[in-house]
Amino acid sequence: QVQLVESGGGSVQPGGSLRLSCAASGFDFSRYDMGWDRQAPGKQRELVARITADGTTYYADSVKGRFTISRDNAKNTLYLQMKNLKPEDTAVYYCTKLGAKTSWGQGTQVTVSS
């Protein structure tokens, strides 16, 4: 059974940093493209970042230059390093498994406010 468990969320001030982690299990992690999505209050879920099985990355324009997605295949773990956080980054962040079917974890809350 596919399991994706996010952690590392919290409350930070504008300009601060935070690193999210996603512990994956139930599938061959190293062979799948992975990513992060987010959903802010009253808004649709949106793509934040993607990383392919071979390490190629993609970012939404809104986070490009501030966020870095990475993966540690030996640990079956996906990361999202977030820097220079802005209030508009406030959302629930979801770890994403791509493939024939898309899967999401339960999400972790990130709140950016002064």
Per-residue pLDDT tens digits for 41-60:
999 999 999 999 999 999 99
pLDDT at 30: 98
Over residues 59-75, mean pLDDT: 98
DSSP per residue, the chain: --EEEEE--EEE-TT--EEEEEEEESS-GGGS-EEEEEE-TTS--EEEEEE-TT--EEE-TTTTTTEEEEEEGGGTEEEEEE-S--GGG-EEEEEEE-SSS-EE---EEEEE--
